[in-house]
Amino acid sequence: MQDPLTREQLKKKLAKIKGAGRNVMLMTAGFDGCTRMGGIKTAFTSLAYTLRDAGYNVTVLYLNAGLGMNCRGSNVVRMRQEGITLVPGVPGGRKTNDIRPLMLSFHLYEYLKSVQDTYPIIISHDFESKLMYVLLAQQQGLQFQHNKIIVWGHSHRRFVDKMNQRWPHRETMLAYFLEQETYRLARNTVSPSVWYQNKLYEQGYYNLDPNTEVDILQNIIYTQNPYVQEKEILHPAGLAFFSRLDKLKGIRVFMDAIDIIYNQRKTAFEAKRQAITAAKREAKQSGATVPAALRAAPSEEPLDVLFLGVDSDLSKMERSSTMIYNRCRRWSPHVWCYLNHTMDTQSAIEEITSSKSLIVLPTLADTFPYSVLESIYHGLPFVASRIGGIPEMLHPVSQEEHLFEAGNAEALAAKMSNVLNRGIEPAVPAYHFHDTALQWAKYIKKQFKSLDDEKGTKPVRSLVNLSTLSALHMDGLPVTVGITHMLERRSETYLRECLLAFANQTYMDFEVVIAINGGDQDKEYAKVIGEHFGTAFKRLSVFNSPVVNIDELRNFVVEKAQGDYVLMFDDDDVPYADMVESMLRAASNTDADVIACLSAHHRFTPASTRIATDGSLMDGVADKGGPLSTWQYDHIALAAGNVPSVGFTQNLFGQAAFFAKTAKFREIGGITMAGVKSNFVDWSFWLKASLRGLHIELVPEPLYKYRLKSRDSLYNDDSGSGHSRILKEMEYLYRDESPEARAKLLDMLVLGYAAQAGV
């Protein structure tokens, strides 16, 4: 291999990339001055400096502010002085219901939406990704059409929890889902290793579409210290576990290997003691003088072992620090332990260097661990598991000496003992560090060129021409807006406000079908609605239905629908002006069968007037027909879309308003389920649609105003009683479905109950 470049030589080469001051945003849960250690911190700090040297304007958005680790104000100033803008947390957005992974994802979406023109390229890691709402909007043609959003593979949460044998909670299952959706939707993905790329495609993880291209770019390292290229054999005097102290990183394997070494040292020490005792006895019996070397008690230098990593739960009953403490007490005096789980990366490297320790990395699986990269960069001796992406990091000449069989404590003990006795050659990396830095800078330049080539060819809302879609439909009305109107809780003012909002949509090629329950009781009322709003829509149909239940009334609406799609809507809610357009655009770009959206929940003061029999207050214009309700914003109700693992104990699919292919709605039998009259017809419908395998999507925008009225509303119920009632209906769902759907239901219930119980 050629000699590595110095830092100054690399800077000169990077400057030739000519980033020309173009803006790049890095979003990360780890960054210098914000977190102490970790691969994500090193990765994004290194990339920020590299792109800065290549001439780009780099902004780093720190994602974990307010969750225990915060960037110091002085660090923001320091970064600014070094040419990097650090935003120490996602700026607060609108109030939402407190479902943490979704809340953070929504606040990030709202912030990025406001700066999407400023930052053409946005890069974030896959671990606990918050990109779902952003990527949904991009896929649906609603936002981010002129952005490259790059998902940088690190290690996803499901993988980490699986390897650490952790039970999922509701919040972690939502985190899994957000990661899964991130990979499903991402157009630009980078993996640090071929091994991790293949893992993403593997069934049972994130099932990445085989047609999705993943660029392989090894992880990057950039520090103020120069690369140390050792030439001589290294002779470590102790051991250092330099990683997170959990099962995945191999802490149990390491402790078992130390157990073996401890027993070997104890046995050797005991044999030495017995030999000295025997020699003394023999000398005494023969009357000879005891040699000076045998007069003192036997002694040995204890083996020093450092534990430098973040503490972790090994089980519900045991922390890794507790396990280390208990084992180390037993090993004394042959093995001495030193534990520090609050040390930052640089301090840890300095401690390892000064103590001349062998870094031990017995991970059970890893994508591209920075502990290996940092060990090579700083010229430190190390041994690591032959697993995951680690072999890809080393030149073949170094693999035999530095790698051992993963999960094998005996092999690790033998490897460590051999290195302590004989030393180890310096590791040779598969690639020089300056090569990976240049590759990253060129990759970003390529992404900007791709954006430049597309400039002017894509509008902000793209991918489908809705006017063409309307023209293709036989009567020019591809959408039916279906509104159910319940007489027993009828508020004519509510219906008027709802219809006024639909009469002022940005897309108007739709018919309106209103179904009033109660049969022939109120034909005159239906006539009044038709007369006063008939000219506001291209087609308005008002029906008196003989059915009385809300689920059957919705099915009745769909029976009368002539559009390819039906937007189901309650008469007491109010759509925003772009609701129909956004739903149709999302459906056309994704070919979804059913689409949910978010909603803006409002407290309100209702108008006191009622519609006269002659319809004098029911006018199809906003400034006539009496006063409107006064609305007061309360919060955004979040949803996740098709997340069945949690959706059987809490409705996170969506609410009552949905947009569906009319044929698909009819195909699954609509909302009504055999043998059950649901308290929550929207939740029951989403469960049924999920079980039947319908393609469900979510528009990540609040598209309508929801009236907060009933204290018994599912979305106002903090006690959980509303959610638990839906479980009573599982028997009917189970009985009504196919064997395949039943098996899926049981899997979902098990995961849902486990998450609800927090086990």
SS (H, E, C) 684-749: HHHHHHHHCCCCEEEEEEEEEEEECCCCCCCCCCCCCHHHHHHHHHHHHHHHHCCHHHHHHHHHHH
Rounded to whole angstroms, the Cα distance separating 394 from 429 reads 5
| Highest mean pLDDT pick, 314-318, 456-460, 471-475, 486-490 | 314-318
Rounded to whole angstroms, the Cα distance separating 6 from 9 reads 5
Q: What's the token pair of residue 341?
A: 């789980």
Statement: residue 678 has pLDDT above 60: no
User: Is there a single domain that holds both residue 187 and residue 244?
Assistant: no
User: Is there a single domain that holds both residue 43 and residue 120?
Assistant: yes
User: Is there a single domain that holds both residue 247 and residue 310?
Assistant: yes
Classify 80 in phi/psi space as left (phi over 0), alpha (psi -120 to 50) or beta.
alpha
Domain closes at, from 378, 403, 428: 428
Q: Greater confidence, 226 or 318?
A: 318
**CA torsion, points 633, 637, 638, 641, in degrees to nearest 10?**
-130
User: What was the pLDDT predicted at 546?
Assistant: 77
In a domain, 721, yes or no: yes
Domain closes at, from 379, 398, 428: 428
User: Is there a single domain that holds both residue 109 and residue 253?
Assistant: no
* Structure confidence by residue, pLDDT tens digits, 5-42: 777 888 888 888 887 889 999 999 999 888 888 889 99
In a domain, 231, yes or no: no
* Cβ atoms 358, 416 nearer than 8 A: yes
Bond before 333 cis per omega within 30 degrees: yes
Which residues are paired to 614 by β-bridges? Answer: none
User: Is there a single domain that holds both residue 203 and residue 249?
Assistant: no
Rounded to whole angstroms, the Cα distance separating 461 from 637 reads 24
User: Is there a single domain that holds both residue 335 and residue 393?
Assistant: yes
* Structure confidence by residue, pLDDT tens digits, 439-479: 999 999 999 999 988 876 655 455 556 666 565 555 668 99
Query: Percent of the chain scored above 90 by pLDDT?
Result: 44
In a domain, 745, yes or no: yes
Mean of pLDDT over the chain = 82
User: Is there a single domain that holds both residue 561 and residue 673?
Assistant: yes
User: What was the pLDDT predicted at 602?
Assistant: 83
Q: Greater confidence, 403 or 289?
A: 403
In a domain, 438, yes or no: no
pLDDT band at 612 (very low <50, low <70, confident <90, very high): very low
Residues 6+ apart with CB under 8 A from 333: 302
* Cβ atoms 306, 240 nearer than 8 A: yes
Kindly report the pTM of this predicted structure.
Answer: 0.87
**Angle between the 100-115 and 170-185 helix axes, to the nearest 10 degrees?**
40
In a domain, 618, yes or no: no
* Structure confidence by residue, pLDDT tens digits, 389-445: 999 999 999 999 999 999 999 999 999 999 999 999 999 999 888 889 999 999 999
CATH code of residue 110: 3.40.50.2000
DSSP-assigned letters across all residues of 85-146: EEE-SPPP-S-B-S-HHHHHHHHHHHHHHHHTTT-SEEEEESTT---HHHHHHHHTTSS-TT
Statement: residue 747 has pLDDT above 70: no
Which among 324, 400, 403 is positioned nearest to 362, based on CA atoms?
403
**Angle between the 100-115 and 132-139 helix axes, to the nearest 10 degrees?**
50
Which residues are paired to 658 by β-bridges? Answer: 568
* Cβ atoms 173, 155 nearer than 8 A: no
pLDDT band at 105 (very low <50, low <70, confident <90, very high): very high
Rounded mean pLDDT of 728-733? 54
Structural domain total, the chain: 3
User: Is there a single domain that holds both residue 251 and residue 175?
Assistant: no
Instruction: Work out the burial of residue 613: count CB atoms within 10 Å of its CB; fewer than 13 is exposed, 13-18 middle, 19 or more buried.
Output: exposed
Statement: residue 64 has pLDDT above 90: no
In a domain, 292, yes or no: no
| Highest mean pLDDT pick, 333-342, 513-522, 623-632, 683-692 | 333-342
Please state whether beta strands 238-241 and 303-308 pair in parallel, antiparallel, or not at all (unpaired): parallel
Q: What's the token pair of residue 90?
A: 């996602």
User: What was the pLDDT predicted at 621?
Assistant: 46
User: Is there a single domain that holds both residue 191 and residue 262?
Assistant: no
CATH code of residue 752: 3.90.550.10
Residues in the chain: 759
In a domain, 748, yes or no: yes
User: What was the pLDDT predicted at 473?
Assistant: 59
**Domain residues for 697?**
466-608+628-757
Question: DSSP character for 433?
Answer: H
**CA torsion, points 49, 51, 54, 56, in degrees to nearest 10?**
-120
User: What was the pLDDT predicted at 168?
Assistant: 74
User: Is there a single domain that holds both residue 516 and residue 377?
Assistant: no
User: Is there a single domain that holds both residue 482 and residue 585?
Assistant: yes
In a domain, 704, yes or no: yes
User: What was the pLDDT predicted at 673?
Assistant: 55
pLDDT band at 755 (very low <50, low <70, confident <90, very high): very low
Which among 229, 151, 158, 232 is positioned nearest to 188, based on CA atoms?
151
User: Is there a single domain that holds both residue 470 and residue 362?
Assistant: no
Q: What's the token pair of residue 198?
A: 């293949």
Query: Percent of the chain scored above 70 by pLDDT?
Result: 80
pLDDT band at 110 (very low <50, low <70, confident <90, very high): very high
* Cβ atoms 382, 226 nearer than 8 A: no
Rounded mean pLDDT of 621-629? 53
